[in-house]
Every structure is written in C-alpha cells, then in structure tokens.
Amino acid sequence: MAPAPGSSPARDFEIRPLTDDRRESWEPLWESYLRFYRAELDPAVSDATFARLCDPGSDMAGLIATAEDGQVVGLAHVVVHATTWDTSATCYLEDLFVARAARGSGLGKRLIDAVYELAARRGAGRVYWHTQQFNAAARSLYDVVAELTSFVVYEHEL
C-alpha cells in the first residue's frame, strides 16, 4: 500500500529556526527553490530576505530542516502580518521547499506542522499560502493539511 501524501518511511529531521550562521547551507536550497519556480532574483534581494528571515524582530521568519548528516534538506519562510478580517495576526507561508533527496519522507508535512506551531506562537489565527496549478505533488499534500479556497490571485507590478 502506498503511503498517504505527506507520510512515508520515518526519517529523522531536525526542524529549527533559520539563523545567521546557516547562510551557506540555506543558500543552495533557496537557489533550488527559485529554479523550481523559474525565478531569478538580484543577489541583494536574497541578502535582504535572509537577513529578515533571521531577525527575531522581523515579521518574517525562516525554518530549516536538516537531515541526520547535517545537510539542509527543507525550508519554510513565513510572513506574520495584521489582517482586516480578525483581531489576531495571520501567517502567510510564502516559501516551502524540500530537496529532491528528502521528498516522500513526510518532511513537507512536518515543515507545515512547524509553520502552524510558529504561527500560533506569534499569535496568528490562520495560516494561508498559494501555489501554482502545475505543482501537483505539493498540492496532494496541501489537500490533506489545509482547505482549498476559491480565491484567485491577481498581481500588478509597480
């Protein structure tokens, strides 16, 4: 029988906050994530993003997952912000990525659960995210851990 989305053979991963001393191990995974979405960023944007993700006073936060050998194999980046729809904050899961070698291990679900915990600690009442339609593997997990809404995203570049 095939494992349910987000679960499979147990593997040990440590999930912890991203810190300044993990830049060298975070960056290759960040670059893989950007390649997956066919995105290129000015290095100054990645520098600023990393600094904000590591700053405990920022509205952004980063989590990384390391395998038993110490290699960073997963990341999650969030933005906790005020909302007009509630008196508590809300949490936007902006980036979630698991290295190919760790896919199918249940790490994606563990990262999402860690985001839920982080959001609750920061006073958020809800976590939301969006993904591209073609991201079927991730969406099979998302369908298990959250509720699909009917919202459509619009953007306008300034």
Task: Check pLDDT > 50 for residue 7.
Answer: no
Q: Are 83 and 94 in contact (CB under 8 A)?
A: no
Of 10 and 158, the one with more pLDDT: 158
Q: What is the pLDDT of residues 74-101, one digit of tens each?
A: 999 999 999 999 999 999 999 999 999 9
The CA distance from 62 to 94, in Å, is 10
Which amino acid is residue 14, in one-letter code? E
Q: Which domains does the chain have, with CATH numbers?
A: 13-145 (3.40.630.30)
The CA–CA distances, whole Å, from 115 to 57, 99, 110, 129, 145 equal 17, 18, 9, 11, 12
Task: Check pLDDT > 60 for residue 8.
Answer: no
Q: What angle do CA 85, 86, 87 make, to 5 degrees?
A: 140
Q: Say which residues have a Cβ less than 8 Å from residue 92's Cβ, sequence separation at least 6.
A: 78, 79, 80, 81, 127, 128, 129
